[in-house]
Amino acid sequence: MVPPAPPPNPVPVAYRATLPAVPDWLNKGDNAWQMVSATLVGLQSVPGLVILYGSIVKRKWAVNSAFMALYAFAAVIICWVTWAYNMSFGDKLLPFWGKAGPALGQKFLIKQAILPETTQFYKNHTTVETPTAKPLYPMASMVWFQGVFAAITLILLAGSVLGRMNFRAWMMFVPLWLTCSYTVGAFSVWGGGFLFHWGVMDYSGGYVIHLSSGIAGLTTAFWVGPRLTEDREGDPPNNVLLMLAGAGLLWMGWAGFNGGDPYTANIDSSMAVLNTNICAAMSLLVWTWLDVIVFKKPSVIGAVQGMITGLVCITPAAGLVQGWAAIVMGILSGSIPWFTMMIVHRRWRWTPLQMIDDTLGVFHTHAVAGYLGGILTGVFAEPELCALFLPVTNSRGGVYGGSGGVQILKQLAGGAFIIGWNVVVTSVVCVVIKQVVPLRMPEEQLRIGDDAVHGEEAYAL
């Protein structure tokens, strides 16, 4: 008697666990969340910041500003997979730098993700404290996720030099700064460098992305020089409503920015997303209240700036603090950067900041807010949440006693390293480029704008 045929397998071939495309180590939920998170961060740049930049500047600079962001995104991705990913997350070359190498080969990209220099040892240097991070998805997901973070850093930096930087100089600046500055911060703090093992806390880029882009943006603005006086004194946005659309993409995209950094869809990821929105909302409200109290009018642009400072401030702390701390951080991120931008920068004529034309105030919204967030992380980081994320055991913020006071000093020192490195290296990059092409547009292009630079205009009126 012939036995009956087995019932057909209801699972489609592509999804059967026994196939090579679905190895035992793959967690489909984690992989899906990581790719979604990367896409959300990518959307913050394209179209988010492309729209925001193209709308917040004067009409004659709309195309140039949007294109600087678009070009940087594309250029960074190619540099990232060619050499920069491994400089940031590969094997150690120096205590602050990884070995350059491509992230393009099939054998590299389809294997399980691993961050090779993140094994944390105790002080005896032999006993493992926290093993190497091995997310449950392929290297391709990790490379892409980290690539969009690198890209948005250059785009944020561009906000300091909109309306006058020579586009050819920008084309040279992007790969040079990515290679010489971003990779150093990423490896030192995230990839297994000396700040990582020392225990500096940066959950999702308060130092690596925001502090570095704000300091480097201010430094680049110094070397490029200011916009024309007429552009600085009369600088109305060309489309406030479209600017809000770009800002909205930035805010909602931050769910991937902070929610994806545990490298898994776990409970810490949920905490990070909730804290992100709490702090951003509180910061927006505080900035708006201050505008109403001091200037008698609620500013839409001010509200967007307050939103951004809240998002930036919570970034280094997102999955490490409780909700009440996120509210406190929102109050401080809506007031301290407001004070440095609206009072110190704009009203104190003797301040050195008056000498530098930071087009969108990136120094205040990203450098000040990022450093503030890093310091407050050292104050409010909750021990149980730290244990869910950090490789250094018994980590805690200052309010929880123990080693918390030392953590604040670590946060200050880590930020100081990022500041010092970016001032020096960004200056060197600018000086080198200046020997090849001018950093600043010719006067004729500065007077005319997009039509002279690109032969295109944003609005055919």
Q: Dump pLDDT digits (tens) for 335-372.
A: 999 999 999 987 777 677 788 999 999 999 999 999 99
Q: Is residue 252 part of a domain?
A: yes
CB neighbour class for 241 (10 Å; exposed up to 12, middle 13-18, buried from 19): exposed
As a whole number of angstroms, the distance between CA 370 and CA 211 comes to: 5
Q: Which helix (H) or strand (E) holds 43?
A: helix 28-43
Residue 94, helix vs strand vs coil: strand
For residue 123, the model assigns a pLDDT of 87
Domain range for 409: 38-101+108-114+124-447
Strand partners, 97: 94
CATH of the domain at 146: 1.10.3430.10
CB neighbour class for 457 (10 Å; exposed up to 12, middle 13-18, buried from 19): middle
CB neighbour class for 347 (10 Å; exposed up to 12, middle 13-18, buried from 19): exposed
Using CA atoms, how far residue 12 sits from 8, 17, 33, in Å, is 10, 10, 22
pTM higher than 0.85 = yes
**pLDDT averaged over every residue in the chain:** 94
Q: Is residue 459 part of a domain?
A: no
Cα 439 → chain centroid? 24
Q: Is residue 196 part of a domain?
A: yes
Residues 186, 142 contacting (CB under 8 angstroms): no
Which residue from 285, 371, 278 is spatially nearest to 319, judged by alpha carbons?
Answer: 278
For residue 96, the model assigns a pLDDT of 95
Q: Is residue 457 part of a domain?
A: no
Cα 438 → chain centroid? 28
Q: Is residue 29 part of a domain?
A: no
Tokens of 379: 């104050």
Q: Is residue 11 part of a domain?
A: no
User: How many domains in the chain?
Assistant: 1
Low-confidence ranges of the chain (pLDDT < 70): 1, 6, 8-18, 235, 350, 461
Q: Is residue 16 part of a domain?
A: no
pLDDT digits (tens, 9 = 90+) for 394-427: 999 999 988 888 999 999 999 999 999 999 999 9
Which residue from 43, 247, 77, 74 is spatially nearest to 159, judged by alpha carbons?
Answer: 247
Q: Is residue 378 part of a domain?
A: yes
